[in-house]
Amino acid sequence: MHVGMGFSTVTGNHVGGLLNRWEFYVAGAATGQMSIAEADAHAGELVVSAESYRALVESSSVQPMHIMAEALPTGNYKITDLRSDANVKYTLPTLRLGRDLIPLVKSYVPGCIALSLGKGKIVINGMRSITAIFIKFTGILDIADATEQLHEVHRCLCAVQDAAYRVHGTSVRPGL
């Protein structure tokens, strides 16, 4: 595994919605930084954007932290050692989802999977022919206004959903 990390304010948005099928789309400069940093990382490496590196070094909330990093030609930093003197453990609460939330969660699960799960199948086995199509929408990240950018992503994803559903396909994970 190799990891890239970016740092900025991000927004989480629900886009799509055709046939009540939604996708969760994260927007912000951090997503682009993360993609570029990830491309710089090799197996077992963590590469962070310059913005992430500055935040790690300058933030009092993560100190005392000892970071060893190598500056890369792209402006990113490969983390070679990361230690903290603080003995802090972060725990996440266990979420208990009630049955009343199933219709909401189901809107994010591809229809063929939701149908099988609804029939009680835990594992969907068997061989299937799959065709994957990767679509790149250009110009979206050039839209400066966050609301206009979101509307354009929503419009594009709805067009993809419409085309996919016409041939019994599905769309998954928009990313820019």
Mean pLDDT, 10 residues at a time, the chain of 176 residues: 93 86 86 92 96 91 85 97 83 84 80 70 68 80 85 89 83 66
pLDDT for the residue 87: 80
pLDDT for the residue 108: 82
**Residue 176 located in a structural domain:** no
* Residue 141 and residue 32 in contact, taking contact as beta carbons nearer than 8 Å: yes
* Residue 170 and residue 110 in contact, taking contact as beta carbons nearer than 8 Å: yes
Instruction: Give this prediction's pTM.
Output: 0.68
The total of structural domains in the chain comes to 1
pLDDT for the residue 6: 96
- Owning domain of residue 49: 3-166
pLDDT for the residue 140: 82
**Residue 173 located in a structural domain:** no
**Residue 174 located in a structural domain:** no
